[in-house]
Amino acid sequence: MAIQMNIAITALLLLFTSIPIVECTDIDVVANFGAVADGQTDLSQPLMNAWKEACASAEPVNIVIPEGTYFLSEATLNGPCQAPISLQLQGTLMAPEDPTVFKEATWVSISYVDSLTMFGGGVFDGQGATAWGQNDCAKNKNCVKLPINIRFHGVKNSLIQDITTKDSKQFHVNVLGCSNITFQSFTVSAPDESLNTDGIHIGRSDGVYILDSKIETGDDCISLGDGSNNVKVQGVTCGPGHGISIGSLGKYENEEPISGVFVTQCTLANTMNGVRIKTWPASQPGSATDIHFEDITMDNVGNPIVVDQEYCPWNQCDLSVPSRVQLSKLSFKNIRGTSKTQIAVKLICSSGLPCDEVELADIDLTYNGPEGPAISQCSNVNPVLSGVQNPAACSSQPTEEAAP
């Protein structure tokens, strides 16, 4: 079964990550539009002028940002464009340090572009350190939204390769309403103390591929919101961070289903959680199905495997009412390594809609703390078991005190 799934994933990746190589004209923001790499002169207008010319061209155009450090106040790069367009970022773009200068919660926005290629080894530096202490959105509904480093909205058939996003003030990358977009050899760099800085957040998109990438941040390395379909994560190293998460789901009305998520051949090191699915109690109705985690290495990970349908941070919910998000066709296979908490496996499903078709295969997770060996907790789920089960599957009853 594992071999068959890997073959299927490989075939899909080859299909969707094949970006045709086309001849294109280079335009240089320095040579052609007067940009200055002094870390102070605003790149915004030269970049916008270059984008406008490239987007209007009937032939493919490559916008080049040469090596050097550029101050960029903001950039809104909209399509549709007449032909494929690429952005060759070789330098470092520096955001304003003061978060109050942003009119919108976005630094760089790319919208409604078909056949975008972004490459070049460059860096988007959000200079977020001064803003992280101002981020209280997790518990304050009236908080001021801090800017996201890069937003992709309505982008399709595109490749983001060999690019780094650093120290974003909020999420590093937001992918919304996109289709067939690939992140390859992509780097997210931020310290553990950077609040609410999800590496790549995906929502209402179909065909998102995150391959051979490294994500270090202060929140989820990868997070999937509602409407995330046909998502493939392969060869990703995560940590520090909060792990790879689906959800939280069910908080809002009219959330779209999640289906077809494959996370394989990844390593999580020193993260708060490992692979996680979370839904709110007393939730709006929803569903997440056909979700698979396979060949995952856990290195000193808190809560390596988590399904939590009683997700309730800051006591913002009613735990007495079960979640109405149906989880089904979930698999956790060949997941091994070390847990830094005793609860290595936690499957807490909804008492109103128990998890359906859950599989645990070849789980080998150890814990060496003072409480004793690792344990596995289950509620409202009857998983199908095969291969190694360490800890013994569903051998412990969940308690409120033990919940992560």
d(CA 47, CA 192): 32
Backbone Cα Rg of the chain: 22
Please give the angle made by the CA atoms of 392, 394 and 397, to the nearest 5 degrees.
125
Phi/psi at 53 (nearest 5 deg)? -65, -45
Q: Do 77 and 158 form a contact (C-beta atoms < 8 A)?
A: no
d(CA 387, CA 135): 44
Q: Retrieve residue 40's tokens.
A: 């102070």
d(CA 131, CA 141): 18
Considering only CA atoms, which of 146, 137, 204, 211 is closest in space to residue 175? Answer: 204
Alpha carbon distances (Å) from 262 to 123, 162, 289: 28, 22, 11
Q: One of 153, 172, 201, 242 is an active-site residue; which one?
A: 242
CB atoms within 10 A of CB 359: 15
Alpha carbon distances (Å) from 35 to 54, 72, 155: 16, 11, 26
Q: Pinpoint the alpha helices (H) of 17-61.
A: 44-56
Q: What is the DSSP string of 146-174?
A: PPEEEEEES-EEEEEES-EEES-SS-SEE
Q: Is 142 left (phi over 0), alpha (psi -120 to 50) or beta?
A: alpha
- Before 304, cis peptide (omega within 30)? no
Is-catalytic flag, 242?
A: yes
For the chain, give me the number of helices (H) and strands (E)? 2, 31
Please give the angle made by the CA atoms of 94, 98 and 104, to the nearest 5 degrees.
85
Residues 6 or more apart whose CB falls under 8 angstroms from that of 17 comprise 159, 182, 184, 209, 211
d(CA 332, CA 317): 28
Question: Which residue in the block uniquely carries the two structure tokens 């509904």?
Answer: 141
Q: Is 395 left (phi over 0), alpha (psi -120 to 50) or beta?
A: alpha
| DSSP label at residue 257 | P
Catalytic sites, residue numbers: 242
